Amino acid sequence: MEFQLKDGLLLGAASAATQIEGGDDNNNWYDWYRRGYIKDDSDPSAAVDHYERWREDLALMKDMGIQCCRMGLEWSRIEPQDGVFDEKAIAHYREEIQALKEAGIPVLLTLHHFSNPQWLEERGGFVQRDNITYYLRFVRKMVESVGDLVSEYITINEPNVYAYNGYLEGAWPPGRKSFLEMSRVMTNMAAAHIEAYGLIRKTRLQMGYKDTRVGVANHLRAFAPKDPKNPLQRFWAERVEELFQGNLTKAMCTGRAVFPIGKHPSIVPGEFCDFHGVNYYTRSTVSGPADGTAENCPVNDLGWEIYPEGIVEVCRKVYGLLKKPIYITENGTCDNEDRFRAKYIAEHLQAVCESGLPVERYYHWCFCDNWEWAEGLSARFGLVHVDEETRKRTVKRSGEFYKRVIAEKGVSKALYQEFCGGEYPRNGEEQG
């Protein structure tokens, strides 16, 4: 393997507040932990202590040459009670964002990343249409507070995963199993994004800034029939893709509401993204009205298929909706022993760089090992290892590889041979 990074592509790292910060127990995920639903019983109010150690993490980012940073805000920390904003917490985020900016690392700011304040969760979260007003109030407050430092925003992270896991599968808070509620959440999140899109741009314009970019971080998988020659399986692959991601993405980008997206006065035809945010990890193999994993395929430590071609497949699909720049807002893999992460990065970056698509950002998920939602601390995605006891940070070999890719503006044969010799596990084998 050998390739150069495409001109204009910045390499960065992504994170979510709940997964790294620690120090907050006023959100739906802490309640989910308290109720005993985290795989390893690890506590999100500890996470990896980034809220106190952010300067240490920033120093590592600078040393690695990280060119851009996607970071999130903890809504429950900023607005611990309905309508009560913690100015000290806002000042903390301003300080961190300012330091990143001064280090030459621009911030893509995520406003909602799976976590709700407990007071909002108790009022029904995004199932209730009226609760959109609380989200918009928070959006306005934060753009007014940091809009002089941040020009690029993610309104909502992976609304399909939030809706599917929390309201259909029951695996995430609030643990519901209702297709109707999942549909309502998707509809309300699409409307919330469309309203926030206009609000952010308007607020920044009132502040005197015209260079605003707003988008969604969509979780997009490649979908394929188990048997490509089977017309019924091809049918189900298309339908599952539409229900899980396709029609929600269409509604948020273009305002076209197709089942399971319902009617809402804010969902009207238009253009509601300045870039396509793409979170890509894996491919789903479909033989009926559910997804699965192909037989004997390469997989990560969570059993997700490793399929680099899929990152181009999903990018082409969203680019077909609207001709907008593309940000890979998340791409990475669970590799607890750091055996094959460098290879994964190289193969996905090569696919992006040779696609011919206008990809402008690549944010690796994630910078340091974090609290991985229902998996807790048991699933490691980071370029930087975090010791569970001491919280000591140590750059992994994959982190050293990423540093070299940034510095050398690509992957040479020698660099690939030095770092990317690890073999992927196969589906059916015991994972590490």
Residue pLDDT, tens place only, 234-291: 999 999 999 999 999 999 999 999 999 999 999 999 999 999 999 999 999 999 887 8
Quick check: 301 pLDDT over 80?
Answer: yes
pLDDT number for residue 432: 41
Average pLDDT over residues 71-96: 98
Domain count, the chain: 1
Crossing angle of the two packed helices 179-206 and 247-254, in degrees rounded to 10: 30
131 within some domain: yes
Instruction: Look at residue 430 and tell me whether its pLDDT is greater than 70.
Output: no
Asked whether residue 424 is domain-assigned, the answer is no
Which CATH number covers residue 286?
A: 3.20.20.80
Structure tokens at 348: 């996905």
What is the pLDDT confidence band of residue 429, given thresholds at 50, 70 and 90? low
Answer yes or no: is 428 within a domain.
no
Mean pLDDT on 383-392: 95
Residue 371 located in a structural domain: yes
d(CA 249, CA 255): 9
Residue 426 forms part of a structural domain: no
Is it the case that residue 159 has pLDDT exceeding 80?
Answer: yes
SS (H, E, C) the chain: CCEECCCCCEEEEECCHHHHCCCCCCEHHHHHHHCCCCCCCCCCCCCCCHHHHHHHHHHHHHHHCCCCEEEECCHHHHCCECCECCHHHHHHHHHHHHHHHHCCCCEEEECCCCCCEHHHHCCCHHHCHHHHHHHHHHHHHHHHHHCCCCCEEEEEECHHHHHHHHHCCCCCCCCCCCHHHHHHHHHHHHHHHHHHHHHHHHHHHHCCCCCCEEEEEEECCEEEECCCCCHHHHHHHHHHHHHHHHHHHHHHHHCCCCCCCCCCCCCCCCCCCCCEEEECCCEEEEEECEEECCCCCEECCCCCECCCHHHHHHHHHHHHHCCCCEEEEEECCCCCCCCCHHHHHHHHHHHHHCCCCCEEEEEEECCECCCCHHHHHHCCCCCEEECCCCCCEEECHHHHHHHHHHHHCEECHHHHHHHCCCCCCECCCCCC
Q: What is the pLDDT of residue 228?
A: 94
Asked whether residue 431 is assigned to any structural domain, the reply reads: no
Q: 288: domain range?
A: 3-419
Interatomic CA distance for residues 35 and 2, integer angstroms? 49
Report the C-alpha gap between 399 and 316 in whole angstroms: 28
Residue 373 has pLDDT above 70, yes or no: yes
pTM of the model: 0.96
Q: Does the pLDDT of residue 413 top 70, yes or no? A: yes
Q: Which residues contact 302 (CB under 8 A, 6 or more apart)?
A: 334, 375, 379, 431
Q: Indicate whether 432 belongs to any domain.
A: no
For residue 174, cis peptide bond before it (omega within 30 degrees of 0): yes
69: closest CA among 12, 154, 9, 149?
A: 12
- 120 within domain boundaries: yes
Would you say residue 2 has pLDDT above 80?
yes
